[in-house]
Amino acid sequence: MSVIQTTKKVLQSIGLLEPLKAVKYGVKNCAHLSREFFYRLPNPLRKLQQSLSQDKKVKRAREKLRREGIAVLESYLSQEQLREIQADFERFVRIVEASEPGPMKMSPDGGALHPSVTYAEESYIADEMITISNNPFKHSAGFLQLALDPLILEIIAGYIGKRFMLQQATAARLYPNQRTDFGSFQWHHDSWGRKINVMFLFTDVTEKDQHMSYIKGSNNTYHSLLRTSINDRFTQEEVDAACGGTEFKCLGKAGTVFIFDANGFHRGNRNLGAKRDSLITQYTAGRYIWGFDIPEKHLARLSDAQLSFLNHNPNINVTN
């Protein structure tokens, strides 16, 4: 028997093992909450810079984000832009559904909060009835332009208040499915403190379709280490007890955009209504950064400012 095993046995026999575990967890939880606090603090100079924006749409969206955790840009995409992206989306779905899942990759190392796992970069997941890509920009220059939309980045910049970057992106088609309350189709948060998700709808979404729900005002919640690294899924009762905010349903016409703080409680909802096509782009101040393959020809449509922002992510791979 090792020294550690012997020590544990002795502590257990005299009734001190559980209290020591509680103390150890308490120390770790305090460290976790301290890191979260400092991670969310804005850079005062950047915050001052961003506060000078005179664009009314930007200012309204930021106020909504600060107050409720979610802002909506209704029918934001032009009809021409929407038609182009819908065509790209159909091609992406056909390619993925005609292929085997893969390639298999390792997710970024998120330390204790989110250890690396193996995942299929693109696949049709039969039991979830989802076609998804975690590397969507190789399929569409339009997807990339949405991820780098200047007005949306300006909204995010003023909310995060420090240097940030494109952290992850997924394009997904959610088919009708009567199965619910699994995976991200439960109440959860994204485990990364101040993190902004932007969801672009490419199909109309009503309450009868595959919609997302968000709890207004839950964006400033501090989640314990236990409910971050061990279990970040919550029951309705736990959500009600945690913040008491009202549920907002993300419904809208194709071309609508939802910008939300993913630290707040949110969930997907599945039912037998229409399918949902969407792109979700995600932004952090440097946590858990994924890589992307971007064809060089797609970069030609970007401005110098967009290229500069894209390069904040060190894991961009430009392909021929």
Enumerate residues 6+ apart whose C-beta is below 8 A from 183: 128
The pLDDT of residue 285 is 94
The pLDDT of residue 17 is 55
Give me the average pLDDT of each 10-residue run along the chain (320 residues): 60 59 83 91 81 82 95 96 97 97 92 86 96 97 97 95 96 95 92 91 97 96 88 90 90 98 96 97 95 96 96 95
The pLDDT of residue 8 is 61
Per-residue pLDDT tens digits for 220-257: 999 998 888 888 899 999 998 888 789 999 999 999 99
Residue ranges of domains in the chain:
1-40, 43-319
* Whole-structure pTM value: 0.92
Cα separation, 68 vs 63, in Å, equals 8
Superfamily in which the 43-319 domain is placed by CATH: q2cbj1_9rhob like domain (2.60.120.620)
Enumerate residues 6+ apart whose C-beta is below 8 A from 93: 131, 173, 277
Q: How far is CA 15 from CA 2, 11, 20, 25, 281, in A?
A: 20, 6, 10, 17, 50
